[in-house]
Structure 1
Amino acid sequence: MNPDSSDNNEVLELALPPDTERLRFRLVRPDDHESVRAIYADDLAQRFLPDMRSPDGVHSFILRQLRRYEKFGYGIWLLETLENPRIVGDAGITWQETDLGDVMEIGYGLAADERGNGYATEAAKACLAFSFEVLGANRIASLVSADNTPSQKVAERVHAQRRDFTHPRLGPDFLMYYTDNQV
């Protein structure tokens, strides 16, 4: 069952994935509008996440994360470099509906000038480990548009399996990359 849609009042303790070699995960804060907008400011990002074009879309994104933190103890986090600290993107875990049932999904996005540095793969691998080791997930997935080649490349490096997928809200032409917990 997707806890994002339930009335479950049990709240997990707030936790973040540990720092990676180059990145720190940090909570999205109410005043992070400019940082979030910068991640999704270019045409490629807006093609796949059109809601992030407007200030209202960015505000809604921030509010969703704050609600997820409060209710579940996780969501999407901002990514900050350890060296010369700056926000380079976001990554985290949310629940998504699929034809295999509801699954935890790793999502990730990087500011245009930060792509190609391996940050998305590094963050997604940390989210994968966190979802299994801390959250006890049985399966973790990344749902990627068939047109989003850069995101597919990240998902291929992170996940063990791939299948075609029809997104319940967005339609066909998606790929589901997923990994099952082996414990």
Structure 2
Amino acid sequence: MLKPHHPIRTQRLTLRPFTPADLDPLHAFQSLPEVARYLYWEPRDLEQVRQALETKITQSALLEEGQALALAVELTATGELIGDAVLFWHSRLHRSGEIGYLFHPDHHGRGYATEAAQALLELGFDGLDLHRITGRLDGRNTASARVLERAGMRREAHLVENEMVKGEWTDEVIYAILQREWRARR
């Protein structure tokens, strides 16, 4: 069980639960084609973002396996919402989880996604005592692969044309790190 103390602060970021006030800034990047390019969904209109946000607002703790912890990512210096981070708790028995993140393109290339990913790994390993955490991505998304590598994860699998996404076969790449590896890196 994980009920994080909010907000979670990193060097430059604040990770916190989503609120209804996040609708417009969340829509500002979830509506962009370049953001949705490698995701299962198309760019979202305001109503679709509203529905997704309603779900995110309820995802503020991990009480049992199968749940997700959704966190809004702000620049601490300005309070601007720049991203969306998530930690999934897949299995209590196997102590496994997964991380994910999504950032406004205006903030790409500055290390924010890596910083948020490292905060998610810390939550999973130290807060939930997970044994293994993965990150999955579209094989074409090389920028996201670099984020996971910088966060300390290793590439474990490249599944060729294993999913039909938006009408085309896509590859999936899986990264992972074990708790003992994470602790050794710190």
TM over 0.5: yes
1:102 to partner: Cα distance: 8.7
Structure 1 residue ranges, 4+ long, deviating more than 4 angstroms after superposition = 165-172
Alignment of 1:95-110 (within 5 A): 95=89, 103-110=96-103
Distance 1:66 1:112 in 2: 23
1:87 aligns with 2:78: no
Hey, what does 2:104 align to over in structure 1?
A: 111
1:75 aligns with 2:69: yes
Alignment of 1:47-62 (within 5 A): 47-49=37-39, 50-62=41-53
Distance 1:42 1:174 in 2: 22
Distance 1:153 1:90 in 2: 18
Q: Over the residues paired in the alignment, what is the CA RMSD in angstroms?
A: 2.8
Hey, what does 2:156 align to over in structure 1?
A: 163
Distance 2:44 2:78 in 1: 28
1:123 to partner: Cα distance: 0.6
- TM-score, normalisation: structure 1: 0.78
Contact kept? 1:17, 1:130, Cα under 8 Å? no
* Residues 119 and 12 (structure 1), Cα distance of their counterparts in 2 relative to 1, 3 Å cut: closer
Letter in 1 for 2:119: A
Distance 1:123 1:33 in 2: 20
Cα deviation, 1:52-86, whole Å, max 9, x if unaligned, reads: 52334312322322333266396121111111221
1:14 to partner: Cα distance: 4.7
Distance 2:84 2:35 in 1: 12
Percent identity over the alignment is 27
Q: 2:118 aligns with which of 106, 125, 143?
A: 125
- TM-score, normalisation: structure 2: 0.77
SS of residue paired to 2:60: helix
1:23 to partner: Cα distance: 0.4
* Residues 74 and 152 (structure 1), Cα distance of their counterparts in 2 relative to 1, 3 Å cut: same
Contact kept? 1:26, 1:79, Cα under 8 Å? yes
Contact kept? 2:154, 2:177, Cα under 8 Å? yes
Which has the larger share of strand? 2
SS of residue paired to 1:24: strand
Q: Which runs of 5+ in 2 are unaligned?
A: none
Distance 2:134 2:8 in 1: 20
